[in-house]
């Protein structure tokens, strides 16, 4: 079914998932039902800043869908609670509804990386034709306290600008964002990733203080069940899906090859 046009190249799709409606955004219509689909799970539930990467992926011949979870991008009722695990489980159910028979790349950024890890673990119980990309994954063990996180924040966004965020999304999600941060601070991705049995890519921006190289390496080393683990240091700081979309898309294209081989 064709989505509703909401911009020059953007389509909005509303998909029923277990009695709730999940909103997703695509750059044009999906072009294949068998080739890999990149499913983007944004950080803090803010879809807007991920759109440059979605466009770069489509330019490379890939289909990409940005999930609006928990739902800050629209005025509709949120389809899930604003916690990383609720978002991840809903994302997994959306994949099973929309892309049950095609390879999938779960691209999660920031707290969305934590949610994508949850989705990957849920999907791995009954499928292998997917890979997981953790970009700018939060939170390094030494930052799992509010004041330590606050100290790292200015450095994490040193190359980013305010226009990378949609004010309407930020306003609608203002209460939920706090809940998501607390949820992310209680998580230990380095423990959970040890149980993920699919190809994993871990990446960060060279100036992203939320994901220093030591944290990237720890996550990669912890992915003990993954058949392959790729690490990559890209340009930019935390929001490099907005500032360096082509670099991110090139890396995700390799993850799409991983997902296809796993089929």
Q: What is the pLDDT along the chain (263 residues), one digit of tens a residue?
A: 578 887 788 999 999 999 999 999 999 888 878 889 999 999 999 999 999 999 999 999 999 999 999 999 998 899 999 999 999 999 999 999 999 889 999 999 999 999 999 999 999 999 989 999 999 999 999 999 988 898 889 888 888 888 888 999 999 999 999 999 999 999 999 999 999 999 999 999 999 999 999 999 999 999 999 999 999 999 999 999 999 999 999 999 999 999 998 77
pLDDT at position 1 is 52
* Total number of domains in the chain: 1
In a domain? residue 248? yes
Place of tokens 């030591």: 214
Place of tokens 């989705």: 119
Those residues whose C-beta lies under 8 Å from the C-beta of residue 66, and which sit 6 or more positions away, are: 24, 25, 26, 40, 42, 47, 50, 51, 54
Instruction: State which residues form the domain around 188.
Output: 31-103+111-261
In a domain? residue 79? yes
In a domain? residue 228? yes
What is the domain-level CATH number for residue 172?
A: 3.40.50.1820
In a domain? residue 205? yes
In a domain? residue 13? no
**DSSP codes of every residue in 237-257:** STTHHHH-HHHHHHHHHHHHH
In a domain? residue 116? yes
In a domain? residue 68? yes
Predicted confidence (pLDDT) per residue in 151-187, tens digit? 889 888 888 888 888 999 999 999 999 999 999 999 9
For residue 38, give the 3-state DSSP assignment.
Answer: strand
Is pTM beyond 0.75? Reply is: yes
């Amino acid at each position: 079914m064709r989505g509703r046009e909401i911009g020059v190249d953007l389509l909005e799709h509303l998909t029923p998932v277990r009695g709730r409606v999940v909103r997703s955004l695509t750059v044009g219509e999906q072009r294949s039902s068998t080739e890999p689909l990149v499913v983007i799970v944004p950080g803090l539930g803010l879809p807007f800043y991920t759109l440059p990467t979605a466009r770069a992926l489509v330019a490379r011949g890939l289909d990409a869908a940005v999930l609006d979870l928990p739902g800050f991008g629209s005025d509709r009722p949120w389809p899930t609670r604003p916690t990383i695990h609720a978002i991840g489980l809903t994302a997994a159910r959306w994949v099973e509804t929309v892309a049950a028979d095609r390879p999938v790349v779960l691209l999660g950024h920031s707290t969305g990386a934590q949610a994508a890890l949850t989705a990957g673990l849920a999907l791995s119980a009954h499928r292998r034709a997917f890979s997981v990309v953790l970009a700018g994954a939060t939170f390094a063990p030494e930052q799992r306290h509010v004041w330590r996180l606050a100290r790292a924040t200015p450095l994490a966004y040193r190359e980013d600008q305010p226009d990378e965020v949609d004010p309407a999304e930020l306003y609608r999600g203002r209460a939920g964002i706090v809940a998501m941060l607390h949820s992310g601070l209680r998580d230990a991705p380095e423990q959970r990733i040890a149980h993920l049995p699919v190809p994993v890519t871990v990446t960060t921006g060279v100036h992203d203080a939320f994901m220093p190289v030591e944290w990237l390496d720890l996550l990669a080393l912890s992915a003990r069940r993954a058949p392959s683990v790729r690490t990559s240091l890209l340009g930019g700081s935390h929001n490099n899906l907005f500032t360096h979309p082509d670099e991110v898309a090139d890396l995700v294209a390799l993850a799409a090859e991983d997902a296809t081989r796993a089929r």
